[in-house]
Amino acid sequence: MNLIQQFRSLNSGIQFSLWWQLGLFLPSLLALPFDRRKILGLNPWIKPLKFEISVAIFLLTIGFVMRQLNSSPKAVNLIGWIIGIAMILENTLIVFQSARGVRSHMNYTSAFDGVIFSFMGVGIGVNTLALAALLLLSFRPAADWTWPAPVVLATRLGLAVLIWGSLEGVAIVNNKQHTVGAPDSGDGLPFVNWSTTHGDLRIAHFFALHALQAFLLLGFLISRTSLPKSLQSGSVIAFAVLYLAACWWLYREAVAGRSPVTMWTAAAIRTLPPSSNFANSAASASLAPRTAGSPASASSSPNEPYAASANAAASAAGSPPPTGNVPRQSST
């Protein structure tokens, strides 16, 4: 079965939503280089692109899982349409708000913006309930499944973590922003924009939402090994426990206002030879103030958000932080 046939075999609601995501993705991509406005310091089309890519991956994965549930075609078809429409609502409203030049999530600046965000919340809530129904259907008779047992187990565990990740989004809403310890801004990792200096609730949220893809990949890989079936299942369960623990750790670090990027940088510097003071020299070289004649002066902003991270990293490595007036990027 070729790729086109594979796509046509997906649930009709999932197919419709995927085409819709493509219809949103193309204009978002075209608008990116021409729009000079900023939302929280970032180009307004970066967020729609992130969500369109993420949702497309999610829909494709859910669509292939649904193909396995043959004993309940009507229920699966209904769930597919509910999930598909919920994702259309979510991303269409994100694109709409980006076109207006305002933030989409946690936007209470006007009654209209509040209503938009409320509709998005209702859509995600309905989507989570549909995923829970799909998880229950996945426990129907094993005759439904053509996938190997480790993959079936990985599917069920992945759906469970995905649902937890959806509920974890409530913490972001309750916090009224995704950053903990500082206002939301454009200071973060490229494209994903995860904060490098403070807690960011989106990191755990992201990994939990894409647990299903990671679990399925592992399940298929393990099913191709010569391990006994008990060890194959045990490996999937062990991976799921470790993955969930990592998501929980990322969430707790974010709640505490700490960025894992800072901690990873500190750990990397600690591996460098302390006697040569190389760690401090490297940090100083990368964060030294740039002059107008320096080659990097035309694009100085990408490294600026890392100033606080490198200072913390150098401190954790036992070296004094780099000196000098390090420029900081302002957010709008």
Which amino acid appears at position 184 of this protein? D
pLDDT at 272 over 70: no
Question: What number is the average pLDDT over the span 52-71?
Answer: 93
Residue given tokens 């707790």 in the structure block: 252
Q: How confident is the model at residue 284 (pLDDT cuts 50, 70, 90)?
A: very low
DSSP-derived letter for residue 291 is P
Token couple for 129: 């309930």
Report the first-to-last Cα separation within the chain, whole angstroms. Answer: 50
Classify 7-146 by CATH class.
mainly alpha
Query: Helix or strand or coil: residue 39?
Result: strand
Tokens of 151: 């993959």
pLDDT tens digits for range 73-130: 899 999 999 999 999 999 999 999 999 999 999 898 999 999 999 999 999 999 999 9
The C-alpha atoms of residue 284 and residue 295 are separated, in whole angstroms, by 17
Mean pLDDT value across residues 195-221: 94
pLDDT higher for 167 or 319?
167
Residue the block writes with tokens 């401090």? 280
For the chain, the domains span 7-146, 152-258
Distances (CA, A) of 177 to 20, 166, 183, 202, 205: 28, 16, 8, 10, 13
Per the prediction, the chain carries an average pLDDT of 83
Would the pLDDT of 282 be above 90?
Answer: no
Name the amino acid, one letter, at 113.
D
The pLDDT value recorded for residue 269 is: 61
Element (H, E) at 155: helix 149-175
Q: How far apart are CA 64 and CA 327, in angstroms?
A: 48
Question: From CA 28, how far away is CA 45, in angstroms rounded?
Answer: 6
Is the CB of residue 150 less than 8 Å from the CB of residue 219? yes
The number of C-alpha atoms within 13 Å of 181 and in the hemisphere containing its C-beta is 14
User: What is the structure's pLDDT at 246?
Assistant: 96
Residue 286 above 90 pLDDT?
Answer: no
What is the C-alpha radius of gyration for the chain, rounded to an integer number of angstroms?
23
Q: Which has the higher per-residue pLDDT, 144 or 48?
A: 48
The SS3 of residue 323 is: coil
Report how far residue 79's alpha carbon sits from residue 13's, in angstroms, rounded to the nearest whole number.
8
Q: Give the Cα separation of 188 and 305 in Å (integer).
A: 6
Which of 7-11, 16-20, 138-142 is predicted with the least confidence, judged by mean pLDDT?
138-142
